[in-house]
Each structure stands twice: as C-alpha cells, then as structure tokens.
Amino acid sequence: MTDTAGAIDYDVLVVGFGPTGAVAAGLLGRLGHRTLVIDRLTDVYDKPRAIALDHEIFRHFDNMGLTEAISPHIEPFTASEHFGVDGQLIRRIDMVAKPYPLGYTPSMVFSQPAVEAELRRHATSFSNVRAELGVELLDLVQTSDRVEARLKDSDGRHRSVTARYVLGCDGASSTVRQIAGLALEDLIFDEPWLVVDVRVNESALARLPQCSAQFCNPARPVSFLIGPKNHRRWEIMLLPGEDARQMERPDNVWKLLAPWLTPQDGELWRAASYRFHALVAADWRSGRILIAGDAAHQQPPFIGQGMCQGLRDATNLVWKLDHVLKGVSSGSLLDSYTVERKQHVIELTGKIKAIGQSICERDPAAARRRDAHILAEGGGKPLLLTRQEIIPPLRAGCLSHHETPARGTLFPQPRIANGSTTRLLDEVTGPGWRVLIDGRSNDAASMLALRAVCPDVSATAVAPAGAGLPNALEEAEGVLANWFDRHAVVAAVVRPDHYVFGTARDATELGDLLREVELRRRDVPAEQDKIPDLKMERTP
C-alpha cells in the first residue's frame, strides 16, 4: 500500500467483511491488488443468517483452496417436500442426479459463522490485503482517478484513505449505496416472518422430519430446514396483528415450535423477525463506486439463494475490476456488471417470489386451488423439481454477440482421470479465461492451435476416458462429452467466473469467438448494456 500525499492509497476499498466482502477481498488479494477491507464490527457475527449454498459457490471456494478448511462445516442439503392444505405432498425439490455437473453436491447447507471465519482468514492471508475492523465509513468523495474514503476508527479518530475503486458489500442498509445515491427498486414482495434456529438435542433429532419441508398451511405457513449437524431452522410466517418483537421472545418461540419440539429438546440459537422483501438497486455502479450482495439486492429466502447471489456478484465483478486495474479493459466493462447481475437477480427473484407467494397463500380456497394446480403440473402426482433448474443464465453483458448454445450458462466441471484417481478440471486449467475443446472433434488440433489468437486464454481438449486421443485430457464420467453433444458444439469459451462467453461448432466459429473475446473484454458496446425486459412471474 503506498502513501501518497499523506493518505494511504489502495486499488480497492471493500466496505463490509461478510461473505461477499470477504470473497471479493480474497479474490482481489490472489490477483495481486492492494486491497483494504473494513467493517464496522470487530468480529464475525456469531449467528447463522445464510444456511444454504450451491455448487457454483462451492466451486469458487474450491478454486480459492478452501475445501479442506470449510468442509467440516458443510453438508448436503436434503430434499425439500412441500405440503398442501390437507398435509398432502404437492411438490418435491431435490438435487440433480449424479454425475454432478460441477463436480460437487449441487445444494449444501453450512454453518455461516465458521465458514465466514475461514473466508476472512483466507482474505487476510494475502500480504496485499489489509483488514481493519471496528472502522466506520463516513463519506466517499470521487475524483477523476480515485475515491477518497473518510473513515472513523473505534476510538473516534477520523482519517482518510484513497482507492481506485470502492466496493460496498455493507449489507441491506448499505452506507456505500446511500452515499453513492444508488436507489433501490421495489420488486414487490413484503411479508413478515420469524426465523428460528435451534441446536437440537441428539435425542430429539429422530422425531423431526428427515427432509426439509414447506408446510403451505394457510393458517400459518412454515418452512423447516435441516442444517448441518444438529442445526434445524424454522421460518414461521407472522400473522396480521402479531407484534414482531413480541414473537421473538423465547416463550412465544417455543409455543410456535410446540408441534415439533419442547424447550427440553434443544437450545434456541437465534430468533429474529424479518420482513421478507424483494428489492434491487436500479444501478450497481456510480463511477468508481460499486455495490454487491445485500447492498445491491434483497430477496425472500425460499430457495436459499441469498448468500449465493451476493457471491455471484463478487465473482462476476472481481475479474472485471482486475482487467480494468491491469489496463486490459476500459471502464465500460464495469457497466456489464450491473447489466449481467441485475438481470439475473430480477429473473431469479421472480422465480423465488412465485414460490414464496404460493407458500405464503393465506386464503384456504386459493390455497386449495394452488395445490390442485401444482399437482396438475406434476401430472396428478407431486411435482418434482431440481433446485438447479430454477437458476437462470446470464442473458446480456460481456457475452458473445451471437446467441450460441449454452451462452451465459455455467460451464460444467468434469472429473479428469489422474492415474488411479481423478481431479477436477479447474485444478488443471485454473479459473482464468479458457477454451475447452471436444477432443473427439476432427477439428480439435486446429482449434488448439487457435490459442495464438488470445495468448492469455488457455486451450485444453477433453475426451471421454479410453478414447486414447493425443493432446486430450481424459474425463472420467462423460460429463463434458454429454454437454458438448447436448448443445451440438465442439468448443466453449469460458470466463473467469465459469460462465460461458460463447460456443462454437467448428474451428472457424471458434476463431471468430476468440477475436470477439479480445474486442468485448476491451470495451463492452453500449447496445450490450441493455437489460432485457423481464416479466415478473405470477403466483401459480
């Protein structure tokens, strides 16, 4: 960190050291950027707010080298069963079947305080990342090439630092968002709920449901979630006339939990009332100031995507900031951050709202119609869904201009044969810009030779095990061969956040795609900056 004219100067100031800020700081640290991360509080919050994460996020944690440290605090998510007015099963949400597309269990539950502590440890393991805790942001002033941040230390002392960019990961009431004047748009969902976390005694665990559940009972909708170890969560809708603060009191909480537990069955870890709402910032950038996580969007929790969405923001933004800071790209690449992530948030929030509205139905007649509708969708049986099919692709931004198959989706991660064991593809290629080539294609050799078009884009061919093809890695489970076949393509250009920039059917198309990467990374044209007009989904 350099000292210019009395002020300490950084590449990036990250405000907020929760999961989004910690991941952003860790990624910036690995890329060599001088990063300051501050937080108002001095410690990790010791209660679980987020409980769910998915394979996309775990892949980033794995890329960061965190698998061993965080695995003790993570378990597979059970299926989730949704019950209708008469207690009948109407919908079941489960994981996709093996082989898993990204190489990991697709949905997981985790213990937030323990994982957050590891994320912080990782970020501060880089000598170019500095964390200052108990520090409050007072103001931000933008100049042509810097932002000056006025800070207040825990002893009341005021001081300033400067940074080339500021990233606000400072939560729903974000000071950064307010200072930058970034307004929130209302996506229209507002329901009062009580979230209760219990550490259940061993002797009581077997009496509880063995699947997560949504009790879509119009008298009082309740979600039940199976967390790691003995952590169980109930999300309980508050009814008109119930006072949120009163309902958080332990005596009232135990009354609400009476169908499942008595106070002798466990320890109340947290009882917090929230308004579940849906909001998105109109713009996520003002000059050199950007926002991410709850500062940029809030959504109801019904499919457990809150933290995942924040970490998608961080992983989307950091490679773009890296390109801009290193002079590979113009600042316009940063506009694609709002375009890509806002569209994704709006579309996913629409789906979460639709699920939430069906869970929250309070009118018994409407709830019966809902049950009949969902069962009809399942062909007279409980509707089966996977959590992953609910997550939309990116549709605009720094993507190929051509709507090639699988553009904007997450690129899979096959297991690569490695002697008598396997390793995951990212371990071989790293998470930078890369071309993956179908080793079975007649064009494989000429496509590999195209790496000269973009010297910083790696090129790797992959073929099914036993194919015996020269210059191709062998995958163990056919995940990538199936993916190429399904999309009828022979190559994919993949971004550092694992989203597919575009795909090609032959070497000529791949050459064009790589030339497009060079252009788009440098400058994302304004017409790509339009957010597609998305309709919010309605209650079924």
Give whichever of 95 and 131 is closer to ligand LIJDXRAZ, judged by the CB atom: 95
Helix or strand or coil: residue 193? strand
Q: How far is the CB of 191 from ligand LIJDXRAZ (least distance, A)?
A: 12
Contact 178/286 with Cβ under 8 angstroms? no
Q: Specify whether the CB–CB gap between 51 and 304 falls below 8 A.
A: yes
Cβ pair 540, 358 in contact under 8 A: yes
Q: Provide the pairing of β-strand 158-168 with 89-94.
A: unpaired
Closest CA to 265 of 212, 194, 198: 198
Distance CA 9, CA 6 (A): 9
Residue 194 to residue 280: CA distance in whole angstroms: 23
Q: How far is the CB of 92 from ligand LIJDXRAZ (least distance, A)?
A: 9
Tell me the closest approach of the beta carbon of residue 85 to ligand LIJDXRAZ, in angstroms.
19
Please state, in angstroms and rounded to a whole number, the distance separating the CA atoms of residues 226 and 77.
7
Min. distance of Cβ 106 from ligand LIJDXRAZ in angstroms? 11
DSSP-derived 3-state class of residue 51:
coil
The residue among 34 and 233 lying less far from ligand LIJDXRAZ, judged by its C-beta, is 233
Min CB(302)–ligand LIJDXRAZ separation in Å: 5
- Exposed/middle/buried for 365, CB within 10 Å: 0-12, 13-18, 19+? exposed
Q: Considering only CA atoms, which of 129, 125, 124, 120 is closest in space to residue 1?
A: 129
Shortest spacing between CB 345 and ligand LIJDXRAZ, in angstroms? 17
What whole-number distance in Å separates Cα of residue 488 and Cα of residue 484? Answer: 6
* Residue 306 or 439 with smaller CB distance to ligand LIJDXRAZ: 306
By C-beta, is 39 or 81 nearer to ligand LIJDXRAZ?
Answer: 81
Q: For ligand LIJDXRAZ, which is the closer residue by CB, 35 or 80?
A: 80
Instruction: Output the smallest distance, CB 271 to ligand LIJDXRAZ, in A.
Output: 15
The distance of closest approach from Cβ of residue 342 to ligand LIJDXRAZ in the complex, given in angstroms and rounded to an integer, is 23
Q: Is 310 left (phi over 0), alpha (psi -120 to 50) or beta?
A: alpha
Cα–Cα distance between 527 and 397 in angstroms, integer? Answer: 9
Reduced to 3 states (helix: H, G, I; strand: E, B; else coil), residue 1 is coil
**Residue among 302 and 483 whose Cβ is closer to ligand LIJDXRAZ:** 302
CA 529/CA 284 separation, integer angstroms: 13
Strand ranges (E), 95-210? 107-110, 129-133, 136-142, 147-152, 158-168, 184-200
When the beta carbons of 81 and 313 are compared against ligand LIJDXRAZ, the nearer one is: 81
Q: How far is the CB of 334 from ligand LIJDXRAZ (least distance, A)?
A: 31
Report the residue number, 387 or 434, with the smaller CB distance to ligand LIJDXRAZ: 387
CA 345, 346, 352, 356 torsion: positive or negative?
A: positive
User: Could you give the C-alpha distances from 223 to 81, 233, 235, 323, 388, in angstroms and in order?
Assistant: 10, 8, 5, 42, 19
- Residue 355 C-beta: closest distance to ligand LIJDXRAZ, Å: 9
Q: In angstroms, what is the minimal distance from the CB of 93 to ligand LIJDXRAZ?
A: 5
Q: Closer CB to ligand LIJDXRAZ, residue 323 or residue 370?
A: 370
Q: What is the DSSP string of 336-387?
A: HHHHHHHHHHHHHHHHHHHHHHHHT---HHHHHHHHHHHHHHTTTSPEEEEG
CA distance 435 to 429: 10
Contact between 151 and 135 (Cβ < 8 Å): yes
Please say which residue, 223 or 409, places its beta carbon nearer to ligand LIJDXRAZ: 223
Identify which of residues 193 and 433 has a Cβ nearer to ligand LIJDXRAZ in the complex: 193
Residues that bind ligand LIJDXRAZ (CB under 6 A): 51-52, 80, 93, 212, 223, 225, 235, 301-304, 387
Q: What is the nearest approach in angstroms of ligand LIJDXRAZ to the Cβ of residue 52? A: 4
Nearer to ligand LIJDXRAZ, 58 or 337 (CB): 58
